[in-house]
Amino acid sequence: MEHIQFFSDKSSVSKEKIAEYKEKANQCISALHEGTGKGNDFLGWLHLPSSIDETQFAEIENTAKLLQDSCEVVVVIGIGGSYLGAKAVIDALSNSLDWLQKVRKSPIIVYAGHNISEDYLFELQEFLKDKKFGIISISKSGTTTEPALAFRLLKTQLEEQQGKAQAQKLIIAITDRSKGALRKLAEQEGYKTFVIEDNIGGRYSVLTPVGLLPIATAGFDIRQLVAGAAFMESYCGVETPFEKNLAAQYAVVRNELYQQKGKKIEILVNFHPKLHYVSEWWKQLYGESEGKDHKGIFPAAVDFTTDLHSMGQWIQEGERSIFETVISIKKPNHLKTVPFDTENLDGLNYLAGKRVDEVNKMAELGTMIAHVDGDVPNLKVEMPKLNEYYLGELLYFFEKACGISGYLLGVNPFDQPGVEAYKKNMFALLEKPGFEKETKAIMEKLK
């Protein structure tokens, strides 16, 4: 069976250079596995794939079935790590025009609580007006403003449309075991709940019910997703030699490029628009994990070939502070060949009979050669196919590499103290009770 592979551009970081990191990388891996590194109280994700049991799968699948049987639309409420993993997987596996499908096996999944836009919430509520809908409300802390605000609006709407008793059945809460407003509310209202364990941070939670329940509700095979992740868990495990450990290799190459070659920005590249949100998930994972202590690669992303016509110029000839990591899919799921045209007015007959993917792959190869020639080092993560299993491999690969990479950089990859700064100011400006001192201080600043 094929698996995900990682390739790095030898002209930018040599094999010998990578080998020099062996001891350091192995120390980082041991620190993760022995729980002796920074943020060691947030390592619950490390053995998560291999530890999910039949009872947990069944509970998630039964809840998904209930939502599928009763809802045309399910609203997933959450922000950051509480929605990006689910959206990444659902978008990657869904038909590109999913929302236009008339005949559906599963509810349409829409998202809320990931912004505070009044227009977004108005338009969502208008859309839901004549729909049978349910809610999966996700917040680990149970106190985040964006999802709490969206939940207040949508809970009220659901109760008005379907009655309180039915709404109670169609709201699922995923939150802390005992703390937070969402836990309190869920217990008072009698909602079905799932727990996010204390030792798993939001951005590492895609393989908990946070990601698995929305993904199962959208009709995808969570067992395959977890099986792929479990394979990668052992494939990149503590016993895997450094030379064969894909996660360690990726972590090392990106740190070498950042720390020794001045490549401060990593651009995650895809050649399939379905992967757009995989990049968004990856950006959060690496941005929140490494961007601290005034250090960290800036994670950016582009969708090619689309963005070759917007960002291509900058990437080819702008400041030489970037490198790329390309997610490449070996085989597409569908077949489409270029037709022959007798008139050939568009001059495309030289492509007649070729698969569209062959054209895409030549664009991918041509871009890689051009960018390497232009001093943009290229790394590649190759997936055999786009399906649940390989997405599971991909998610775990990036999670494990992120932990190793954060330790190589010398930061705590599992906290996010910087996220609090905007919240404090927002609460002060909104005059939230308990923030009186901050309100006074910020008003002074604004004078």
Q: Looking at the annotation, which residues are catalytic?
A: 288, 309, 423
Q: How far is the CB of 154 from ligand PA5 (least distance, A)?
A: 15
350 vs 422 by CB, closer to ligand PA5 = 422
Do 96 and 274 form a contact (C-beta atoms < 8 A)?
A: yes
Which residues, including other chains, have CB under 8 Å from residue 38's CB and lie 6 or more apart?
A: 406, 407, 411, 412, 413, 414
C-alpha to C-alpha distance for 317 and 312, rounded to whole angstroms: 9
Q: Are 341 and 281 in contact (CB under 8 A)?
A: no
How far is residue 101's CA from residue 1's CA, in Å, rounded to a whole number?
33
CA dist., res. 16 & res. 207, Å (int): 35
Q: Are strands 73-77 and 133-139 parallel, antiparallel or unpaired?
A: parallel
Are 217 and 64 in contact by the 8 Å Cβ rule? The answer is yes
- Residue 97 CA to residue 73 CA, distance in Å, equals 16
Residue 195's nearest CA partner among 216, 218, 172, 217 is 172
User: Of all residues in this chain, which one has the CB nearest to ligand PA5 in the complex?
Assistant: 202
Closer residue to ligand PA5, CB minimum distance, 288 or 388: 288
We find the least distance from the C-beta atom of residue 81 to ligand PA5, in angstroms, to be 3
Beta partners for 269? 302, 326
Asked if 324 and 317 touch (Cβ cutoff 8 Å), the reply is no
Structure tokens at 400: 């494990």
- Sites of contact with ligand PA5 (CB under 6 A): 79-82, 139-141, 144, 147, 201-203, 288, 416, 419
**Number of residues that make up the chain:** 447
Residue 238 or residue 419: which is nearer to ligand PA5 going by CB? 419
Q: Which is nearer to ligand PA5, 13 or 173 (CB)?
A: 173
Q: Distance (Å, rounded) from C-alpha 417 to C-alpha 266?
A: 22
Q: CA nearest 180: which of 142, 137, 144, 136?
A: 142
Which residue's CB is nearer to ligand PA5, number 128 or number 173?
A: 173
**DSSP-assigned states of every residue in 4-21:** -EEEE-TTTS-HHHHHHT
- Which helix (H) or strand (E) segment is 39 a member of? none
Q: Closest CB to ligand PA5 among 387 and 416?
A: 416
Q: Contact at 8 Å (CB) between 322 and 379?
A: no
CA-to-CA dists, residue 420 to 1, 225, 288, angstroms? 45, 32, 12
Pick 141 or 360: Cβ nearer ligand PA5: 141
* Type of residue at 202: G
121 or 351: CB nearest ligand PA5: 121
d(CA 136, CA 171): 6
Residue type, 260: Q
Residue placing its CB nearer to ligand PA5 in the complex, 282 or 390: 282
Q: Which residues pair with 138 in a beta bridge?
A: 174
ω into 305 cis (within 30 of 0): yes
Give the SS3 label for residue 116: coil
Q: Which residues contact 230 (CB under 8 A, 6 or more apart)?
A: 49, 50, 392, 396
Least separation in angstroms between CB 291 and ligand PA5? 12
